[in-house]
Amino acid sequence: MSIFTQTTWFDSLDSTNTYLKDAIAGGAEAARSGSVVVARAQLKGRGRKSRAWLSDRGENLTFSFVLAIPERRRDFPTLTLAAGVAVCETLAGFGAEGQIKWPNDILIKGRKICGILCETVQTESGLFAVCGIGINVNMQAAQMASIDKPATSLLEETQICYRVEDVLEAVLSSLESRLGLWLDGGFAALRERWMALACGLGMPIAVEEDGIAKDSGFFQGAGESGALLLRRISGETVELYCGDVAWNSCKL
Find the helix packing angle between 164-185 and 79-93, rounded to 10°: 140
Of residues 62 and 99, the one with the C-beta less far from ligand BTN: 62
Is the distance from CB of 91 to CB of 113 less than 8 angstroms? Answer: yes
Q: Which residue, among 222, 215, 224, 218, has the nearest Cα to 244 in the 3D structure?
A: 215
Minimal CB distance residue for ligand BTN: 115
User: Least separation, in Å, of the C-beta of 232 and ligand BTN?
Assistant: 26
| 103 cis-preceded (ω within 30 degrees of 0) | yes
The stretches of the chain forming alpha helices (DSSP H) are 16-25, 79-93, 141-144, 154-158, 164-185, 191-197
Of residues 53 and 162, the one with the C-beta less far from ligand BTN: 53
23: amino acid identity, one letter: A
Of residues 105 and 156, the one with the C-beta less far from ligand BTN: 105
User: Least separation, in Å, of the C-beta of 71 and ligand BTN?
Assistant: 26
User: Least separation, in Å, of the C-beta of 2 and ligand BTN?
Assistant: 21
In the three-class reduction of DSSP (H, G, I as helix; E, B as strand; rest coil), residue 243 is classed as: coil
Of residues 103 and 217, the one with the C-beta less far from ligand BTN: 103
User: Least separation, in Å, of the C-beta of 60 and ligand BTN?
Assistant: 8
User: Least separation, in Å, of the C-beta of 222 and ligand BTN?
Assistant: 17
| 77 cis-preceded (ω within 30 degrees of 0) | no
Of residues 47 and 217, the one with the C-beta less far from ligand BTN: 47
Residues at the site binding ligand BTN, with contacts judged by CB under 6 A: 15-17, 45-48, 51, 53, 62-64, 104-105, 115-117, 132-134
